[in-house]
A and B are shown apart, each in its own frame.
Chain A
């Protein structure tokens, strides 16, 4: 990446900043339509029950109620897998998750929905719906759910991935396995073998903006949906399939988004709002309360993980093995597969095996959360790595460096790695002054590394050169982390325009071809690639226009420094024309100048990171205070370094919450006791120090500017880094998350 760049790599002010700080930006719940009805959802009070009957007659009679929908308003669906975020979604399960059918599978599972002229009427109507439940025994713990005598959630579920196929149904949806070599041989060659078992709890993405939408279907079946989502094209597809509509009849507009982190790749409200609107022929608004977000939208799974790693005395890992048991929630589809693939990815191992089980439990269906599955498995592996390093008396960064994956290493999930930046993160961590700083009493330091694949996928961008010489970029990946700024910067770079002359907007589903979700750290990579392609197409068109004007062959015109000019002396003598001059002549030379790009972006490259954390333990209260935190990660190329740093810091902050405080707390009746931010404690600014960042740039050779994608990896290392720091401070190895004050106190008292 040696080109001279005007915009890429700079830190311009964010273009969406003014709207956001002045309150003008419209988030999901800010949108309203005339004549709009208020929707409310009746949710199950039981974690597991058969739905014997649902009587909505009294609710329908209530004045002001315009529509009531239940399972009968959604067509049953066949078992069909479609990609959704990082997970394959099964339509049979999806229709049952948005509206319970035969059974309710978790507290908060939707049972019916009402649309009324006032919210108070809708709430009253919910109370008039009579639901007869046959209460069934429930199961929350993943290992209990795997046992032979566990309450069965789905009598049709037989474990996939086991030969021969089990005849008896069970709660184990799937078994996966990745690896190579011979782990038994590897362990036999080891001088030291450490085996540990870890427990993690479900954690929510904690986006500040709840799920919200307005849906409007007219009498002729044409629909519009406005919603907060990471993938409005996916919302359109799901609504069409679940309600038997044509995709062309539904137009979905993505609002500004107040956080998603993977959780808004799932769909909960939009098909229900559309079903209510279809019945009432009125716009219907649905907004989740915070408790509904906790009860009914997907967290990351809780899990039980066993890890065994062996190494020689000189610090060479001979074998690594992991068994992962992930809670999927009420329906199959936990991220255990990527968890198994990522578990040992930072290491170049001859003998490695990761086995995973996807297990249904009476909890909300899990959804994607930054690097889905990886934080859990890598927490366990990175904890054991640290313990091994200590036992071998080797510096933990040196131990990682000795075994680190490099270009050409065979990954633990199969293929060889291309150019990757893990070693650079480890070397820069070792050289960082944070790693050399002294520690005080009851203070400890920990390090951990992390990995995520990153992704590409279907992407479509239109770039219009306006008549005044400005440009508008229409992108189809909702902007969660500043992607509009990055797209504008890449377009400005290609077109040699000042940045304030380029505006990037998110187009609705009728404006562009299909775009896969903003997820997998793909937006800047894939939409960026499409934006560059679209700008190149616009430049080529401007060269064609100049060729016509000058009456010379197209190939005799070239683009240089924001102007078209003759390609050489033989092309003729013409004064170069600027983009603005060509744009002004567009009506006379062939009409609007538009560059388009429709791609299935390939060439995504993984991102590795290493974190260093210093913490202090209050021995009286068990509180852990993060004193200093440094994230070092390979970004490939940071288009807007401030946004990249923001992703590093945000991922680390969420990982710190996962490590120290966050958990779903259920009582013995299977009911969630902390569905609010008062009792489910995410870190706030006063809990955290300024998180320092080091951007490492090992360019992705498959992206025009070297982008890898950065949003997922930074949530992977914090849990292990903090557990390793606690061990360093107290000499106690914590294997259960969260490492909250009661657990720290109990460990200190043990």
Chain B
């Protein structure tokens, strides 16, 4: 099980939980299972979320491996001017 922390307002769509345990080995699996468990997260996942794995931020990188040894944060996507 991967321990994840939801940033920003995302806990609004998970019944107030901002820390979760999810069985996933890639970012894609994580998103699929998150959406299945919390359907209201679906539009936000589709709109684009970033995933920080041990501090490194990944954007739209579905197949990045994750494990229970990683610190995972889910964040809004970031770009710039």
CB atoms of B48 and A454 under 8 A apart: no
- Which has the most chain A C-beta neighbours within 10 Å: B9, B55, B57, B81? B81
Is B60 part of the binding interface, using a Cβ–Cβ cutoff of 8 Å?
yes
Give complex CA distance A600, B16 in Å.
32
Which residues of chain B (9-55) have a CB below 8 Å from chain A?
9, 12, 16, 43, 47-48, 52, 54-55
CB atoms of B56 and A702 under 8 A apart: yes
CB atoms of A453 and B57 under 8 A apart: yes
Is A83 part of the binding interface, using a Cβ–Cβ cutoff of 8 Å?
yes
Give min CB distance, B27 to chain A, whole Å.
11
- Fill in one digit per residue for A154-187: 1 if any B CB lies within 8 Å of its CB, else 0: 0000001101000000000011111000000000
Chain A residues within an 8 Å CB radius of B8: 176-178, 337
Chain A residues within an 8 Å CB radius of B71: 415-416
Give the number of chain B interface residues (Cβ < 8 Å): 28
CB atoms of A372 and B48 under 8 A apart: no
Q: Which of A111-119, A309-317, A519-527 contacts B (4 or more CB under 8 A)?
A: A519-527
Chain B residues within an 8 Å CB radius of A368: 79-81
- Fill in one digit per residue for A189-225: 1 if any B CB lies within 8 Å of its CB, else 0: 0000000000000000100000000000000000000
Give min CB distance, B77 to chain A, whole Å.
6
Report which of A369, A455, A458 forms a contact with B78, defined as CB distance below 8 A.
A455
- Fill in one digit per residue for B68-79: 1 if any A CB lies within 8 Å of its CB, else 0: 000101011111
CB atoms of B80 and A520 under 8 A apart: yes
Is B5 part of the binding interface, using a Cβ–Cβ cutoff of 8 Å?
yes
Give min CB distance, A165 to chain B, whole Å.
9
B contact face: mostly helix, strand, loop, or mixed: loop
CB atoms of A177 and B81 under 8 A apart: no
Chain A residues within an 8 Å CB radius of B5: 414
Give complex CA distance A185, B43 in Å.
35
Give min CB distance, A467 to chain B, whole Å.
38
CB atoms of A520 and B9 under 8 A apart: no
Chain A residues within an 8 Å CB radius of B65: none
Is A449 part of the binding interface, using a Cβ–Cβ cutoff of 8 Å?
no
CB atoms of B79 and A522 under 8 A apart: yes
Chain A residues within an 8 Å CB radius of B58: 602
Is A262 part of the binding interface, using a Cβ–Cβ cutoff of 8 Å?
yes
CB atoms of B81 and A262 under 8 A apart: yes
Give complex CA distance A609, B23 in Å.
39
Chain B residues within an 8 Å CB radius of A205: 81
- Fill in one digit per residue for A407-419: 1 if any B CB lies within 8 Å of its CB, else 0: 0000101111110
Chain A residues within an 8 Å CB radius of B57: 415, 453, 604
Chain B residues within an 8 Å CB radius of A135: none
Give complex CA distance A163, B56 in Å.
30
Chain B residues within an 8 Å CB radius of A476: none
Report which of A86, A417, A455, A517 forms a contact with B55, defined as CB distance below 8 A.
A417
Chain B residues within an 8 Å CB radius of A455: 59, 78-80
- Fill in one digit per residue for A215-253: 1 if any B CB lies within 8 Å of its CB, else 0: 000000000000000000000000000000000000000
Report which of A81, A370, A411, A516 forms a contact with B81, defined as CB distance below 8 A.
A370
Chain A residues within an 8 Å CB radius of B81: 85-86, 205, 261-263, 265, 368-372, 519-520, 711-712
Chain A residues within an 8 Å CB radius of B56: 415, 418, 602-603, 702
Binding site for A on B (CB under 8 A): 5, 7-9, 12, 16, 43, 47-48, 52, 54-61, 64, 71, 73, 75-81
For this complex, 25 residue pairs linking A to B, each with C-beta atoms less than 8 Å apart, are A81-B48, A85-B80, A85-B81, A88-B47, A161-B12, A176-B76, A178-B7, A178-B8, A341-B76, A368-B79, A370-B80, A414-B5, A414-B75, A415-B71, A416-B71, A417-B55, A418-B56, A452-B80, A520-B81, A600-B59, A602-B56, A602-B59, A602-B61, A602-B64, A603-B56
| For the complex of A and B, 9 pairs with smallest distance between CB atoms | A262-B81, A520-B80, A415-B52, A368-B81, A416-B55, A520-B79, A161-B9, A81-B47, A414-B73
